[in-house]
Structure 1
Amino acid sequence: MSVTSSDTTGLPFAPHGSDLPDASRIDVETLRGRRAVNRWERTALGDVFERLTWSYPDQVAVAGRPGAYGDERFAAVTYREADETANRLAHALAAAGLEPGDRVLLVCENSIEAYLAKFGIAKAGMVAVPLNPNLAPDVLEHLIRLTEPRFALVDAELWPRAEAPFAATGLTVGATITVGGGAVAGSRTFTELLDGQPTTEPDVEIHGDDIFQLLFTSGTTAMPKGVMLSHTYAHLAGMNFALSLSRGLPHEADLRLVTFLPLIYHIGDVLFPLGAMLAGGTVIIGRRPAPGPVADALAEERATALWAGSPQFVAALTAELESRPELDLTSLTTLVYGWGALSPGLLENLDARVGHELVTLGIFGQTEAIACHRFWPTRWPQVHRRSAPAVNYVGVPSPLLASDVVDELGEPVRGEPGEAVYRSPIMTAGYYRNPEATAEAFRGGWFHSGDSATVDGDGLRIMVDRYKDIVKSGGENVSSMRVEAVLQEHPDVLRAAVIGLAHDRWGEAVTAVVVPRPGTSPVEADVIAFCKERLAGFETPKAIVFADALPETVGGKVLKYKLRAAHAGHYTS
Structure 2
Amino acid sequence: MPPAPTPVADLLRLSASRAPDAVAVTGDGRAATYGELAERSDRVADALIAAGLEPGDRVGYVDRNATEYFELLFGAAKAGAVLVPLNFRLAPDEMRWILADAAVSLVVVGPEHAEVPVEEGVPVIVVGPAYEEWLAGARPRDPKRDAAGDELIVLMYSSGTTGRPKGVNVTASGLASGVALFGSCFDLGGRAGEAGGAVSMVPIPYYHIAGAGWALITIAEGGTLVQCREPTPASMLDQLIRHRVTHTAMVPAVIQVMAELPAARDADFSALRQIVYGASPITESLLARAVALFGAEFFQSYGLTETIGVTTLLGPDQHLPDNPVKGRLRSAGRAVPGMEVAILDLETDRPADPGVVGEVIVRGPCVTTGYWRNPAETAAAFLPGGWLRTGDAGSMDGDGYLYLHDRIKDMIVSGGENVYPAEVESALAGHPAVLETAVIGVPSERWGETPLAVVVPRPGQETTEEELLAWTRERLAHYKCPTAVSFVDALPRNPSGKVLKRELRRPWWEGNDRRIG
- Give TM-score, length-normalised by structure 2: 0.77
Residue 175 of structure 1 is matched in structure 2 by 125
Distance 1:151 1:248 in 2: 38
Distance 2:146 2:244 in 1: 40
Residue 156 of structure 2 is matched in structure 1 by 215
- 2:104 counterpart SS class: coil
Distance 2:392 2:232 in 1: 29
Residue 17 of structure 1 is matched in structure 2 by none
1:191 Cα offset (Å): 1.3
1:110 Cα offset (Å): 0.6
Instruction: Give per-residue Cα distances to partners, 1:503-552, cap 9 Å, x unaligned.
Output: 9xxxxxxxxxxxxxxxxxxxxxxxxxxxxxxxxxxxxxxxxxxx99x99x
- 1:233 counterpart SS class: helix
1:385 Cα offset (Å): 8.2
Does residue 57 of structure 1 match 2:12? no
- 1:368 counterpart SS class: helix
1:83 Cα offset (Å): 0.7
With over 3 angstroms needed to count, the CA separation of the structure-2 counterparts of 1:439 and 1:384, relative to structure 1, is farther
Does residue 319 of structure 1 match 2:249? no
With over 3 angstroms needed to count, the CA separation of the structure-2 counterparts of 1:224 and 1:568, relative to structure 1, is farther
Contact 2:189 2:196 in 1 (8 A): no
1:171 Cα offset (Å): 4.8
Residue 296 of structure 1 is matched in structure 2 by 238
1:325 Cα offset (Å): 3.5
Residue 349 of structure 2 is matched in structure 1 by 410
- 1:189 counterpart SS class: helix
Does residue 261 of structure 1 match 2:204? yes
Contact 1:218 1:224 in 2 (8 A): yes
Does residue 158 of structure 1 match 2:99? no
1:210 Cα offset (Å): 1.5
Unaligned runs of 5+ in 2: 413-439, 457-468, 492-517
With over 3 angstroms needed to count, the CA separation of the structure-2 counterparts of 1:158 and 1:148, relative to structure 1, is same
The letter for the 1-side match of 2:120 is: G
Q: Name whichever of 140-149 and 198-207 sits farther off.
A: 198-207
1:377 Cα offset (Å): 5.1
Contact 1:44 1:122 in 2 (8 A): no
Contact 1:252 1:281 in 2 (8 A): no
Residue 298 of structure 2 is matched in structure 1 by 360
The within-5 A match list for 1:496-515 is: 496-497=449-450
**Structure ID, larger Rg:** 1
Instruction: Give per-residue Cα distances to partners, 1:313-361, cap 9 Å, x unaligned.
Output: 11112112x444343211001111001111122122222223x3x1100
Residue 425 of structure 2 is matched in structure 1 by none
Instruction: Give per-residue Cα distances to partners, 1:252-272, cap 9 Å, x unaligned.
Output: 961110012101x11024421
Unaligned runs of 5+ in 1: 1-40, 70-74, 179-187, 472-479, 504-546
Contact 1:341 1:388 in 2 (8 A): no
Contact 1:373 1:397 in 2 (8 A): yes
The within-5 A match list for 1:351-390 is: 351-354=291-294, 356=295, 358-369=296-307, 370-376=309-315, 378-379=317-318, 381=320, 386-387=326-327
The within-5 A match list for 1:15-30 is: none
Aligned counterpart for 2:399 among listed residues 435, 449, 458: 458
With over 3 angstroms needed to count, the CA separation of the structure-2 counterparts of 1:252 and 1:239, relative to structure 1, is farther
1:77 Cα offset (Å): 1.2
- 2:299 counterpart SS class: strand
Contact 1:237 1:426 in 2 (8 A): yes
Contact 2:25 2:33 in 1 (8 A): yes
The letter for the 2-side match of 1:454 is: S
Residue 511 of structure 2 is matched in structure 1 by none
With over 3 angstroms needed to count, the CA separation of the structure-2 counterparts of 1:326 and 1:419, relative to structure 1, is same
With over 3 angstroms needed to count, the CA separation of the structure-2 counterparts of 1:444 and 1:59, relative to structure 1, is same
The letter for the 2-side match of 1:317 is: M
With over 3 angstroms needed to count, the CA separation of the structure-2 counterparts of 1:52 and 1:99, relative to structure 1, is same
With over 3 angstroms needed to count, the CA separation of the structure-2 counterparts of 1:99 and 1:494, relative to structure 1, is closer
Contact 1:248 1:333 in 2 (8 A): no
Distance 1:152 1:494 in 2: 32
Residue 184 of structure 2 is matched in structure 1 by 243
Instruction: Give per-residue Cα distances to partners, 1:267-310, cap 9 Å, x unaligned.
Output: 024421111111221111110221011001001101001111x2
1:139 Cα offset (Å): 2.2
Instruction: Give the total of aligned pairs.
Output: 440
Contact 2:5 2:173 in 1 (8 A): no
Q: Name whichever of 245-254 and 99-108 sits farther off.
A: 245-254
